[in-house]
Amino acid sequence: ITTVPTGFEHTAAEEIKEKIGVDARISKDRGRVFFPITTDKLFQVHLLRSVDNLFVVVEEYHHYQFKESKEETLMELQQLASTLPWTNALEVWKQNGTLKKKKGHRRGGNTAKSKPNCEGVGGSMASTEQQELPQENSAPEGWAGDTQAMETSTQDSDETGHGSKLIKFRVTCNRAGDKHSFSSNEAARDFGGAVQEFFQWKADMTKFDIEVLLNIHNEEVVIGIALTEESLHRRNISHFGPTTLRSTLCYGMLRLCKPQASDIILDPMCGTGAIPLEGAIEFNHSFYVAGDNNDMAVNRTVNNICHIQKRRADKGSMSGLPIDTVQWDLCSLPIRTSSVDIIITDMPFGKRMGSRKKNWDLYPSCLREMARVCRPGSGKAVLLTQDKKCFSKAISRMGGLWRKQHTVWVNVGGLHAGVYLLKRTGAVFGQTPEDVYESRGAVHMQGEEKDDKELS
């Protein structure tokens, strides 16, 4: 089971089919994808670009019959812990730990974040060689049973002697549905207590070796074990900004516009460079130009590019990336008209960055400038925004320069946002009424008015 950016489940399923060769099943619970693999392909799963967190499924119930009373339900969850088929899942967890150790990763605490829509949480791996270790009967004080994020970092030793150290674990419960008599906290507490009693593991909320996932979505119940020590979406960025996009969401946006060899791809509001960086790594036959009007954002992008290049050089691979960075005015780009194939960017939501009021001026101006530099007839834009009303109004004022082709609804930090795929129409920039009245400057306006009169 993998957790993926909500809305991009089909993208993840396509990638899994392409790279691993198996059919994936999309869960009714948005943001989750299930697929079967053999352990020899475990390494390939970690290389998937569209997935946030990975779990091995212990057991899955499509129509779990919960008891009516809270006490009976919680008692049943406790009894469930000792009857589950843990053996195969724990074997996969052990192999996964060995795999990560070979790669030289430092084992850390859990750093993945989950959202109220139950997108899931990632846990850490350990290189423990035993499944059951000496007894430890201390009862846990509390359990990470809600869907709030926990971030910790630990320096525990990876080495464990036979019988010399206890396995530490935690249970995380994500619950969605209004017909349950219990809370996620209560489910995690009671199920976790039973897991502890069965295995004689030690409960630890932060320095855990194993994270057990209890996912409840209406009457669907999935029990799993985490295989990622931190979400895979953090792979590219070392210098984070206030609104850095997850690399997995960037990958989904890039796949939506299908980059081709030699395409010029522009991110005019690049922030930390998450989108063009993901593109330059994964779709490296295109060339990316990342720009922003904020000097701090441009510096972060440059630092992130340097970080990736150094990491690649250290591994002995080609360090160069097909990407350049520029500081510019978004509404007056230093780029030739009709010279860009794809524009892909995260537009300001008006929440943490900018304001809704400013967006009413900004969106029409930047969409018009994007239309100017984008190739008529073949150019595309993939734009992410939560300010849907303002965006739709701005598109309607473009005089037919852009046409909406597809919208993917996504969850970005708890906000309901849209990823819009736009097609640049064949309309010539500067020859629609909107361009004349809201042009990029007085000089251009005079020229465009003259052209418009000649045409009429």
For each of the domains in the chain, give its residue range(s) and CATH number, in order of start: 2-99+168-226 (3.30.2130.30), 247-442 (3.40.50.150)
Residues 29 and 39 sit within 8 Å (Cβ to Cβ): no
Tokens read off for 38: 């053999």
Tell me the residue length of the chain: 456
Give the single-character DSSP code of 342. E
H helix or E strand, kind and range, residue 39: none
Residue 241: what residue type? G
Residues 394 and 361 sit within 8 Å (Cβ to Cβ): no
Q: Kindly write down the DSSP assignment for every residue of 249-305, as one continuous string.
A: HHHHHHHHH---TT-EEEETT-TTTHHHHHHHHHSTTSEEEEEES-HHHHHHHHHHH
Return the pLDDT at 68: 86
H helix or E strand, kind and range, residue 188: helix 184-199
The long-range contacts involving 66-72, CB below 8 angstroms and separated by at least 24 positions, are 66/179, 66/180, 66/181, 66/219, 67/181, 68/181, 69/181, 70/181, 70/182, 70/186
List the pLDDT tens digit at each of the 456 positions of the chain: 889 998 999 999 999 999 999 999 998 767 899 999 898 899 999 899 999 899 999 999 999 999 889 999 999 999 999 999 999 999 999 999 877 655 444 344 443 333 333 333 333 222 222 233 333 333 333 333 333 222 223 333 334 444 457 899 999 998 888 889 999 999 999 999 999 999 999 999 888 999 999 999 889 999 999 998 776 655 666 655 555 788 899 999 999 999 999 999 999 999 999 999 999 999 999 999 999 999 999 999 999 999 999 988 888 877 789 999 999 999 999 999 999 999 999 998 544 445 456 778 889 999 999 999 999 999 999 999 988 889 999 999 888 999 999 999 998 878 899 999 999 999 998 876 655 444 444 334 444 444 444 443
Return the pLDDT at 83: 95
Return the pLDDT at 48: 92
Return the pLDDT at 232: 60
> What order of strands is seen across the sheet that includes strand 53-61?
25-26, 32-34, 2-3, 53-61, 220-226, 210-217, 168-176, 202-203
Which residue in this structure is represented by tokens 């295995």?
199
3-state secondary structure of 374: strand
CA-CA-CA-CA dihedral for 190, 195, 197, 200, to nearest 10: -140
Crossing angle, helix 274-282 and helix 247-257, to 10 degrees? 60
Residues 292 and 257 sit within 8 Å (Cβ to Cβ): no
Residues 302 and 325 sit within 8 Å (Cβ to Cβ): yes
Return the pLDDT at 144: 34
H helix or E strand, kind and range, residue 192: helix 184-199
| Euclidean distance between CA atoms 115 and 112, whole angstroms | 10
Return the pLDDT at 240: 58
